[in-house]
Structure 1
Amino acid sequence: MKEPTIQIIILNFRTPDMTLRCMETALRDIRTVPGEVLVIDNDSGDGSYELIRDTAQEHGWFDDGRLRVIASDHNGGFGAGMNIGFATPLSNGADPDYFYLLNSDAFPQPGAMRLLRDFLMANTGAGMVGSYLQGVDGEPHCTAFRYPTIAGEFEGAARTGVFSRLLKNAVVPMGIPTQETRVDWTAGASLMIRREVIEEVGGFDETFFLYYEETDLCHRAARAGWSTHYLPASEVIHIGSASTGMKTWARTPQYWFDSRLHYFTKTHGRLYATFATLARISGTLIWKTRCLIQSKPQADPPGFLVDLITHSIRATARRHPTTRREPSHSTLVSEDPK
């Protein structure tokens, strides 16, 4: 039986040094299985593409034909960049059997990728499987989640034990499972996807610039009968938010609110999205009240509640229908030497 092929897709946006480190790790693993590494520069505009290409050339990483580095002509966000990877066949023209999405700030431990592939090979109903992620400090990153709901929005914003206990089945983060677990969705930092899933449900919805795109993809896959799983034996070191700067946001960016609203509206309808926002506002007010009474630290970026309300009002005033943007498969303006 022919061993299945893997296309590792790494998206770079202004993190060339980390991307090079990630590439080196990916090349180590791809040489143990049939497949290739595809690095896509998402229109960084800072010389990242040239630096990555030239460094790979100097190290001889192109020599065995297992690496390609290409550049997109525009930055359409995470999903748009990954869709380029889905649309790019292997260098021999064949379609890969599996896509392995790997963040530029994620570094798989030896064997992590193979474990994900072997899991999908052994479980024909599984469409996607993600890894256990931990920071460079050894702290685990939660990447096993339930779908966002009205109840989950309230619980996550209120951050209050009594509500969390009452709504325990709606809490979005599932903690850190210690064994293989079926989940609603998992992070795309280290995610193996069966090619048939993409063929059946399409790639990422490019309406999401950043955030909620993995949630949406897993949700569409589940509707088509494909399950998503979390495999803790596949271990990956993950820095986190390297390209987005989420950990140090001085203000929540507009695209986060846009993505959140698009997810709820697309998945459940406009009325449900409105109640989800009201639940988030109510929960946030409860937490802010606790902060005043109990001197608890603020948990959201500055101005979050005002920005959420303002965004909701503006979105209601626009009343534009929410539609899915088909993958653009952006023009590739540069490619590595062969």
Structure 2
Amino acid sequence: MQAAAIVILNYNGKKMLERFLPSVLSNSIFPIIVADNASTDDSIEFLKSHYPQIQLLHLAENTGFAGGYNKALRQLEGEYEYYILLNSDVEVTQGWDKGLIEFLSQNPEVASVQPKITSAQIAGLFDYAGAGGGFLDDLGYPYCRGRIFDSIEEDMGQYDDTITVDWSSGACMAIRASDFHDHGGFDDRFFAHMEEIDLCWRIRSSGRKIYYLGSVEVRHLGGGTLARNSPKKTMLNFRNSLLMLHKNLPKSRFLKVYATRLILDLLAMLVFVGKGKLGDAKAILKAHIGFFNLKNMYNRHSMASNLPSGSNKNIKSILWHYYAKGKKQFTML
């Protein structure tokens, strides 16, 4: 069995591959595999002509981030001890992959680890996805050190540490192959967004740990497949948050949380309407409808009740801290 593989999921991402793949090739020691999610652009032709040394996995249809990675990693099962899942719009630094895999090999109790993720758009700022390590509040809202909602901190070395976190970012996460497969991989229903948070919740419920390694840095562009201001992204985030809570919380706890989420999500709809973002307001309604359509398509994970709060940080409501108390940085919490 080989040590590790860097697996990049691609969907119509020729421009991202042109821009970011050179840094991955020049700064990595492990083999690179591109799994193509049935792209309709000329991504495959570009890779074959410019990077014939890269292994390609051809997926028959686009099943999103969750389904695409599940299919790709099933093909690789048994070949590698570790996977590094990397978005196609990430610029990496020298030794990044070695650092992540060495950390996992030296800490057998850790299932997954992410690096520090800064912005490839604005130098010196943290990125939206993962930033300095991610957490969940009791209502299922994710937040990060370095980024809470739309407030993004400058990277001044304040999160160059190594800590346990609630989840590792799908933009760049190293994970033991055994942990990925033993815990069922990503939930296909999610399609995209928050599937890594759900997987990390299930992994932690079995007693395994998730870590952030601030000594390794990558830079993420973001929005390479779906723009951050897209109503579809809004729908996926709200819907998948509910799916995650439904499958990972005890039923009695979920019902209480859902009642609160209904009120908060209604308020979010009104805020979007007030800002003239009708598409986002409709997206929240579609999210709840989608949740009810999908919620019974997955058996609850029996071990999830071992973590009723789902978090290491024990923040009841990040919304309350952010909007009511004005705590817009992690150090204020």
TM-score range, shorter chain: 0.7 to 0.9
Which has the higher Rg, Structure 1 or Structure 2?
A: 1
Code of the aligned partner of 2:244: Y
* 2:198 aligned residue (210, 216, 224): 216
* 1:100 aligned residue (84, 91, 113): 84
- 1:334 matched to which residue of 2? none
Question: Can you give the 5+ residue segments of structure 1 that lack an aligned partner in the other structure?
Answer: 154-170, 326-338
Q: Does residue 33 of structure 2 align to residue 38 of structure 1? A: yes
* 1:135 aligned residue (119, 123, 139): 119
Superposed counterparts of 1:1-338, under 5 Å? 5-30=3-28, 32=29, 35-57=30-52, 62=53, 67-89=54-76, 95-136=79-120, 137-138=122-123, 139-141=125-127, 143=130, 144-150=133-139, 153=141, 172-175=143-146, 177-246=159-228, 248-250=229-231, 252=233, 254-268=235-249, 272-273=253-254, 275-283=256-264, 298=275, 302-309=278-285, 311-312=287-288, 315-316=291-292, 321-323=296-298
Task: Give how far 1:254 is off.
Answer: 4.2
**Structure 1 residues 6-15 or 197-206, which shifts more?**
197-206
Query: Is contact 2:226-2:233 (8 Å) kept?
Result: no
Deviations 1:217-253 (A, max 9, x none): 111111222211111111101101211112x325655
Query: Is contact 2:269-2:284 (8 Å) kept?
Result: no
Rounded Cα–Cα distance in structure 1 between residues aligned with 2:294 and 2:184: 26
Query: Is contact 2:34-2:55 (8 Å) kept?
Result: yes
| Local SS of the residue matching 1:262 | helix
Task: Give how far 1:307 is off.
Answer: 3.9
TM-align CA RMSD: 3.2
Distance 1:303 1:22, change over 3 A: closer
Distance 1:301 1:270, change over 3 A: farther
Deviations 1:52-85 (A, max 9, x none): 222224xxxx2xxxx2022211011101221233
Rounded Cα–Cα distance in structure 1 between residues aligned with 2:72 and 2:27: 18
Distance 1:314 1:81, change over 3 A: closer
Rounded Cα–Cα distance in structure 2 between residues aligned with 1:304 and 1:269: 30
| Local SS of the residue matching 2:248 | helix
Question: Can you give the 5+ residue segments of structure 2 that lack an aligned partner in the other structure?
Answer: 147-157, 301-333
Query: Is contact 2:162-2:212 (8 Å) kept?
Result: yes
Task: Give how far 1:37 is off.
Answer: 0.9
Q: Which has the higher contact order (CA 8 A, sep 6+)?
A: 1
Deviations 1:10-32 (A, max 9, x none): 011111121244332222234x3
Query: Is contact 1:265-1:322 (8 Å) kept?
Result: no
Distance 1:115 1:302, change over 3 A: farther
Task: Give how far 1:99 is off.
Answer: 0.3
Query: Is contact 1:133-1:238 (8 Å) kept?
Result: yes
Rounded Cα–Cα distance in structure 2 between residues aligned with 1:310 and 1:289: 15
Distance 1:10 1:185, change over 3 A: same
**Structure 1 residues 193-202 or 113-122, which shifts more?**
193-202
Query: Is contact 1:186-1:230 (8 Å) kept?
Result: yes
Rounded Cα–Cα distance in structure 1 between residues aligned with 2:48 and 2:294: 45
Deviations 1:124-146 (A, max 9, x none): 10110001111121211251222
Rounded Cα–Cα distance in structure 2 between residues aligned with 1:277 and 1:261: 8
Task: Give how far 1:104 is off.
Answer: 0.1
Instruction: Tell me the matched-pair count.
Output: 284
Identity level (%): 24
Distance 1:88 1:288, change over 3 A: closer
Distance 1:12 1:189, change over 3 A: same
Distance 1:119 1:73, change over 3 A: same
Query: Is contact 1:20-1:52 (8 Å) kept?
Result: no
Code of the aligned partner of 2:34: V
